[in-house]
Amino acid sequence: MLHGQETFGFHLVNVLLHSACTLLLYFAGLEVFRGDRGMSVLAALLFATHPIHTDAIDSIVGRAEGLYGLFYLMAFLAYVRCASPRGTSWGWYCGYVVCFILSVLSKEMGLMVLANCWAWDLLYNFDCWSLVVSFLPAKFNVA
């Protein structure tokens, strides 16, 4: 065992995983919010400081959540790069598949990255966002 019986190493790795997930969430926010850095920083700060994550960081067995989140976000970002309207990049696609598999192996919820990428395609690549906004009441319609 790398850390032996000391818990400091386990907690340090969990904090580093959470920090990496926060950074990846910032980059995912840049894609989702179309480059709006303010919204991306706000989303990443909310994720970083939200108290729901204390179990995943404080607990030694919370490593699965950190790894799942890391590979989930990496898979999503790789998919956004490989499925861009400019054309498919096979390097990014291979990275997407590897990160997807690692996310599923970390935690079963990693399967949801497929639904996330499907929604990304519908809302952003196929421009169905305007159709979704058209169903909103007029006071929420911002398009």
What pLDDT, in 10s, does the model give residues 67-103?
999 999 999 999 998 887 776 778 899 999 999 999 9
Distance CA 143, CA 140 (A): 9
What's the pLDDT at 123? 81
Model confidence over 41-64: pLDDT tens digits? 999 999 999 888 787 788 888 889
Contacts of 58 (CB under 8 A, 6+ apart): 11, 14
Please report which confidence band the pLDDT of residue 133 belongs to, taking 50, 70 and 90 as the band edges.
Answer: low
Q: Check pLDDT > 80 for residue 124.
A: no
CB 71 within 8 A of CB 78: no
> Which of the two residues, 139 and 126, has the higher pLDDT score?
126
Distance CA 129, CA 59 (A): 39
What's the pLDDT at 97? 95
Q: Average pLDDT of 10-25?
A: 92
Q: Check pLDDT > 90 for residue 122.
A: no
Give the residue among 59, 31, 63, 62 at the shortest CA–CA distance from 44: 31
